[in-house]
Amino acid sequence: MSNKMWGGRFSRGPDAVMEAINASIDFDRRLYAQDIAGSRAHAAMLADCGIISAEDAAAINKGLDTIASEIEAGSFSFSSALEDIHMNIEARLKDLIGEAAGRLHTARSRNDQVATDFRLYVRDSLDRLDAGLAAYQEALAAKALQHFDAVMPGFTHLQSAQPVTFGHHLLAYVEMASRDRGRLADARRRLNQCPLGAAALAGTSFPIDREKTARALGFDAPMANSLDAVSARDFVLEALAASAICATHMSRFAEEIVLWSSAQFRFVTLSDAYSTGSSIMPQKRNPDAAELVRAKAGRIIGALVSLSVVMKGLPLAYSKDMQEDKEPAFDALDALELVVLAMTGMVADMEPDRARLREAAGAGFATATDIADWLVREKRMAFRDAHHVTGRIVALAEARGVGLEDLSLDDLRSVEASIDAGVLDVIGVESSVASRTSLGGTAPENVKAAAQRWLDTLKVERAER
């Protein structure tokens, strides 16, 4: 049997392989709610413009209600002979309401239909991601406030560099998440124009009102060019690009959680809720969630690459290649939502070992820069000379196998005679972090204020949501 939706000029049906490669219903059924919303808006507009009767529009609406409940109840039977969600719904509508169903597709094509559905779907995903990231930021800022003064090593090259506070480290990720949200919001803003009414590619001769459908579906405006409307997928690419960057940030933090929770670092512990055991090594507590967050970045970035490659060779307007936009996007957006939840959970769950962090902060001669700065400030030494003197102090401590804090004033003077007791105020890790009061610096008072500022901002935002 030829296809009942478009088979007028066909005398037989497709080969089984043709059907297998052509059908998208197995994945695009996820667009059912958006497809129904788009059809409702379209039918209402067609009736308002006198293109179909009000009775037909009412029948269409009622049929769509039934279809929505059937799909939600799991009783709808999806058919791959009907290719995709659009034709599955339309065929069922025909069973339910008869002839009026055939009028729904007036002045519309699956090309503008799928573009509209997918924009609505991605828009919903972006909104959920934004809310998820806000909760992640809140968890980070709350933990940062709790540990605004917990001193830990700050690293460059993963070598002890200068002491920082645990709160300061966490707030770095709050800032990243804030930019991630900004990118997602930008993507949403550009996405929010409506393709519906562009029809197959050229527009339509029916007197439709595209402003009306755009408004009904919560878009800011109709898309201005019908060719662009049906063939643009940069809205998905942009959402995936923003997602890929966000996933990259999550992965960096996940990597730190993996390191921090190791027996070698012991900076944080994750409770049983976020750890897994080993089937052979009883002592193990593995940070599997963090490792999976790190790995999910791979598939999210992969989705961006995959769709970029699909799109790069396509002439205008629609080509069936674009059907391949959905699976990677669904997969990546699902993955990122889960990643954000897992990171939020781990942040709330993790307990820093403050004593261990303090101990590690003092290791690796982390306050050497403080000594050099002190020589510049108090002894008017040129920074390069101060750097050299401090290097010799570090070498002395290293030769003795002790930390800088363990050297006596006499030890220090043996390297540089002008050093006096004032240096003892800067040599400790607490005084080191306390002195970093420059804007954005790690001083606990800065960190406390920044954490509080973020919590206040996020609270206001939450109230407005």
Neighbours of 33 (CB within 10 A): 15
- Does residue 322 bind ligand ARG (CB under 6 A)? yes
Record the tokens describing residue 239, joined without a space: 């959402």
The CB-of-230 to ligand ARG minimum distance in angstroms stands at: 9
Pick the stretch among 106-114, 132-140, 233-241, 395-403 that binds ligand ARG (CB under 6 A).
106-114
- Does residue 226 bind ligand ARG (CB under 6 A)? no
Cis amide prior to 317 (ω within 30 degrees): yes
Residue 368: CB partners within 8 Å, gap ≥ 6?
Answer: 390, 391, 393, 394, 404
Question: What is the DSSP track for 213-276?
Answer: HHHHTT-SEE-S-HHHHHH--HHHHHHHHHHHHHHHHHHHHHHHHHHHTSTTT--EE--GGG-B
The CB-of-111 to ligand ARG minimum distance in angstroms stands at: 5
Q: Write each residue from 12 to 41 as x if it is in contact with ligand ARG (CB under 6 A), else as -, in one continuous string.
A: ------------x---x-------------
Record the tokens describing residue 371, joined without a space: 């000594």
One of 64, 71, 76, 84 touching ligand ARG (CB under 6 A):
84
Instruction: Please pick, among 262, 278, 308, 418, the residue that the annotation labels catalytic.
Output: 278
Q: What burial letters (b/e) apply to 296-322, b meaning 16+ CB within 10 Å?
A: bbebbbbbbebbeebbeeeeebbeeeb
Number of chain positions touching ligand ARG (CB under 6 A): 10
Reported as type and span, the H/E element at residue 161 is strand 159-165
Spatial contact of 312 and 231, defined as CB atoms under 8 Å apart: no
Angle between helices 110-146 and 32-48 (to 10 degrees): 130
Q: Which DSSP letter does residue 286 get?
A: B
Pick the stretch among 109-117, 133-141, 374-382, 383-391 that binds ligand ARG (CB under 6 A).
109-117
Cβ proximity to ligand ARG, 28 vs 416, nearer residue = 28
The CB-of-318 to ligand ARG minimum distance in angstroms stands at: 6
- Does residue 303 bind ligand ARG (CB under 6 A)? no
Note if 86 is an active site residue: no
The CB-of-322 to ligand ARG minimum distance in angstroms stands at: 5
Cβ proximity to ligand ARG, 307 vs 340, nearer residue = 307
The CB-of-232 to ligand ARG minimum distance in angstroms stands at: 13
- Does residue 204 bind ligand ARG (CB under 6 A)? no
- Does residue 9 bind ligand ARG (CB under 6 A)? no
Pick the stretch among 56-64, 292-300, 314-322, 397-405 that binds ligand ARG (CB under 6 A).
314-322
Spatial contact of 413 and 423, defined as CB atoms under 8 Å apart: no
Cβ proximity to ligand ARG, 111 vs 204, nearer residue = 111
The CB-of-346 to ligand ARG minimum distance in angstroms stands at: 36
Alpha helical stretches, state H, 323-362: 326-349, 354-362
The CB-of-298 to ligand ARG minimum distance in angstroms stands at: 25
Instruction: Please pick, among 157, 205, 408, 438, the residue that the annotation labels catalytic.
Output: 157
Distance set, CA 438 to CA 149, 227, 244, 435 (Å): 16, 53, 32, 8
Task: Specify burial of residue 439 (Cβ count, 10 A radius: 0-12, 13-18, 19+).
Answer: exposed
| Phi, psi of 197, rounded to the nearest 5 degrees | 100, -10
Cβ proximity to ligand ARG, 83 vs 138, nearer residue = 83
Pick the stretch among 129-137, 177-185, 320-328, 438-446 that binds ligand ARG (CB under 6 A).
320-328
Residue 319: CB partners within 8 Å, gap ≥ 6?
Answer: 231
Cβ proximity to ligand ARG, 84 vs 130, nearer residue = 84
CA–CA separation, 298 vs 248, rounded Å?
Answer: 9
One of 34, 125, 306, 323 touching ligand ARG (CB under 6 A):
323
- Which residues on neighbouring strands pair with residue 286, listed in sequence order? 276
Note if 205 is an active site residue: no
Pick the stretch among 108-116, 135-143, 253-261, 364-372 that binds ligand ARG (CB under 6 A).
108-116
Show the CA angle centred on residue 447, arms to residues 255 and 453, nearest 5°.
Answer: 105
Cβ proximity to ligand ARG, 6 vs 383, nearer residue = 6
Q: Write each residue from 110 to 149 as x if it is in contact with ligand ARG (CB under 6 A), else as -, in one continuous string.
A: xx--x-----------------------------------
Residues acting as catalytic residues:
157, 278
Chain positions contacting ligand ARG, by CB under 6 A:
24, 28, 84, 110-111, 114, 318, 320, 322-323
